[in-house]
Amino acid sequence: MRGEGNKGRLILDAARRVFAATGYYQARVEDIAREAGVGKGTVYEYFTSKEELYLEMLLEVVNSYVAGVRAGLEHAGGDIREKLFFTGRHLCSFLTEHGQLARMVLQDPGPINFKFTDHLRTIRRKMVEMVAALLRDTIPGSIPQEEAEVAARFFLAGLAGVVYPENMQTLAPQENLRTAVDVFVQGVSETFGRERG
């Protein structure tokens, strides 16, 4: 993005909505421009290409995701259950808000985003480490680093399955989250909190 003017902001927001609604290839630059209320050419004043616009937009989304997870994990005064629950809460609203885009962030972004893959990998790894650290710091007993990371991956990916919008019809998402967090924390505690057989 060239400047941080008002127009650039409008375009990024419009891009997020349009890309989220239809995916990268279905979205036309003209649609985004119209959604932003600017001319088609203006998009190219702020971004060098459709791809760059997409990547910049995705970066913002990813950053907001990371910030949310971090906020959840650092949720002041909570025990581990509370922290993980808040993390899930964030994930839930993130999925609700960003739909299609969220999938790209949580999983691989697909081949569209080769240039983004490394960054996403880094992001995911950082979050895994955060959760792993939480587990090792909080759960009684000593959890090997690698196994803590496996558990963290399991948790973060599992959360997405639980809070997926399509799954939230029978139970309130809160209830789903409580259950998942309980199972996970219990499981980690039991598995690593005592001598393992």
Residues engaged in binding a second copy (CB under 8 A): 21-26, 100, 103, 106-108, 110-112, 121, 146-147, 149-151, 153-162, 164, 166-167, 170-171, 175-176, 179-180, 182-191, 196
CA distances (Å), origin 143, targets 59, 64, 190: 33, 30, 11
119 binding partner (options DNA, a second copy, none; Cβ < 5 to 8 Å by kind): none
Q: Would you state the torsion angle of the CA atoms of residues 123, 124, 127, 133, taken in this order, to the nearest 10 degrees?
A: -120
CB of 97 to DNA, least distance (A): 24
Contact between 110 and DNA per CB under 7 A = no
Q: Which tokens hold the place of 146?
A: 């690698």
Q: CA–CA separation, 134 vs 95, rounded Å? A: 23
Contact 86, 72 (CB under 8 A): yes
Per-residue tokens: 63: 């950053």
User: Applying CB under 7 A, which of residues 13, 51, 108, 147 lies at the interface with DNA?
Assistant: 51
Nearer to DNA, 13 or 51 (CB): 51
Output the smallest distance, CB 121 to a second copy, in A.
6
